[in-house]
Amino acid sequence: EPEVTQTPSHQVTQMGQEVILRCVPISNHLYFYWYRQILGQKVEFLVSFYNNEISEKSEIFDDQFSVERPDGSNFTLKIRSTKLEDSAMYFCASSNRHSFTNEKLFFGSGTQLSVL
Amino acid sequence: KNEVEQSPQNLTAQEGEFITINCSYSVGISALHWLQQHPGGGIVSLFMLSSGKKKHGRLIATINIQEKHSSLHITASHPRDSAVYICAVIGGADGLTFGKGTHLIIQP
């Protein structure tokens, strides 16, 4: 079965540094998503992306966050100036149609971000 | 904002038992996902359903849109079914809204 690939699996950074989390969605998928899960808490929606622009975002996704699909295969999440509370597992997902309708989501294995 | 509640929060059962995990939500939705999160953290989508019932192997998911309730059943449970099962509902401007998950342990 096709897979969503995320790199790196673990990222350690200093507070205030910029980080870029990378994802390679399934090749024929059109909708892309980032979610995060703080340790011990539930998964939270961050942003959805379609046709090279953000289609939905949560209140978590503030000006410190940005997403990009720079080359037609990668989908990145950038955090400009990391805070301690950004420490979480970040999941990328993709689907062939909008997840807000009738479509299965495919998740990557996640990037564990630790901000020190 | 949709409130998603799952029950039970934790469930330990013996191999072979029939398992039921429940999910209820407060605001009407268009569809609902059941997800499985493995001990290593990876998430797998099990079902997406908007009405009725779906079956895949030993897993069955049902939803009652009017009652705002869904259930996930596992028949002939096995230790490899041990995972966190998460319900996520679709609707509203915040994308998917997730439940806290049900921690399932199946003992041999």
The per-residue pLDDT string of chain A (116 residues; one tens digit each, 9 = 90 and over) reads 778 999 999 999 999 999 999 999 998 888 999 999 999 899 999 999 998 999 889 999 999 999 999 887 899 999 999 999 999 999 999 988 765 555 678 899 999 999 99
Q: What is the pLDDT of residue A100?
A: 56
Contact B31 A109 (CB under 8 A): no
Question: Which single residue is written with the structure tokens 């509203």?
Answer: B92
Quote the mean pLDDT of chain A. Answer: 91
Give A45-109 as a DSSP string: EEEEEETTEEEEE-TT--TTEEEE--SSS-EEEEESS--GGG-EEEEEEEESS-TTSS---EE--
The predicted structure's pLDDT at residue B23 = 97
pLDDT at residue B40, as a whole number:
78
pLDDT band at B41; cut points 50, 70, 90 = confident
| Residue labelled with tokens 């999440």 | A77
Chain A nearest C-alpha distance from B88 (Å): 9
Nearest to B45 among A35, A100, A104 (CB): A104
Nearest CB neighbour to B96, from listed A99, A106, A109: A99
**Which chain B residues have a beta carbon less than 8 Å from that of A47?**
95
* pLDDT (tens digit per residue) in B12-22: 999 999 999 99
The pLDDT of residue B69 is: 95
Which of 8-67 (A) contact B at CB < 8 A?
33, 35, 37, 41-45, 47-48, 56, 58-59
- Are B43 and A59 inside 8 Å of each other by CB? no
pLDDT tens sequence across B60-94: 999 998 999 999 999 999 999 999 999 998 766 55
Residues of B in contact with A104 (CB under 8 A): 45, 48
CB of A46 within 8 A of CB of A38?
no
Q: What is the pLDDT of residue B10?
A: 97
**Closest partner CB to A56 (pick from B40, B95, B99):** B95
pLDDT at residue B29 greater than cutoff 90 = no
Inter-chain contacts counted by CB atoms under 8 A, chains A and B: 66
How far is Cα A116 from Cα A7, in angstroms, rounded to an integer? 19
pLDDT on residue B60: 97
The residue among B42 and A74 whose pLDDT is bigger is: A74
Nearest by CB: A56 against B44, B93, B100:
B93
Token pair for B4: 């998603």
CB contact under 8 A, B48 and A112: no
Q: What is the pLDDT of residue A84?
A: 97
- Is-contact A48 A57, C-beta < 8 A? yes
